Amino acid sequence: MRADSLRNNAGMTSPNADLASLRKSYERAELDETHSAGEPLMQFERWLAEAIDSKVPEPNAMTLATVGGDLRPSTRIVLIKGYDARGIVWYTNYQSRKGQEIAGNPYAALQFHWVELERVVRIEGTVEKISAEESDAYFASRPLDSRIGAWASPQSEVISGRDVLVKNAALAAAKHLLSPPRPPHWGGYRLVPEQWEFWQGRRSRLHDRLRYRRQSDAWVRERLAP
């Protein structure tokens, strides 16, 4: 292909021209069996704290992958709002696409990608709704505009324009004033981990990958080839 064919009318080079040559050498850190935690939750807590302390952009952002009844996977970004030995918690609209897919297939995966630290955490497991009391408590802690927004947005549905959201928000604000209750279609989910993987970038693409998988009541830690 001629070089001039990679230029558009404005004289700019097509992004495709350089994709194959993009390279990055991962050299920030390492992850081995000796210096990793014996329990995956402890390792996750350590890495999450380091991501927050390092001030990486949105260290709490994670990709949620679900699979619908048509067996087609879908992903979206959600925010972790809590974690403990039971699992990882986030909040959303139960009637959204992800909510409907979880209702039909309760298996899902989460992924954190802390680019600046050259780290990835992957978590697979089953998803369950958290208690209404937990959802109520978190909803009450949200800013007023966010609580109104939960009433205003028919998440994942086709709408005719942004004016639908503005109108819905105005109606919800007029109805609930300063104390909107949690909508019945909105609340928290918890992913109960069955498998964790911690990925640390290394030189020459010989990355470190440690997997923890549930075996009875214990976690088995093992190294995966990159």
Quick check: 199 and 121 in contact, CB under 8 A?
A: yes
Residue 59: other Cβ atoms inside 10 A: 20
State the catalytic residue, choosing from 203, 205, 214, 223: 205
Nearest alpha carbon to residue 190 among 142, 104, 96, 123: 123
User: Token pair for residue 103?
Assistant: 């209702």
For residue 49, what are the CA distances in angstroms to 23, 28, 219? 28, 17, 22
Nearest alpha carbon to residue 89 among 196, 190, 187, 195: 190
Place of tokens 């080839």: 225
What is the Cα–Cα distance from 129 to 74, expressed in whole angstroms? Answer: 19
Report the length, in residues, of the chain. 226
- The dihedrals phi and psi of 47, each to the nearest 5 degrees, come to -70, -40
Q: Is 205 a catalytic residue?
A: yes
- The dihedrals phi and psi of 183, each to the nearest 5 degrees, come to -65, 145
Active site residues: 205
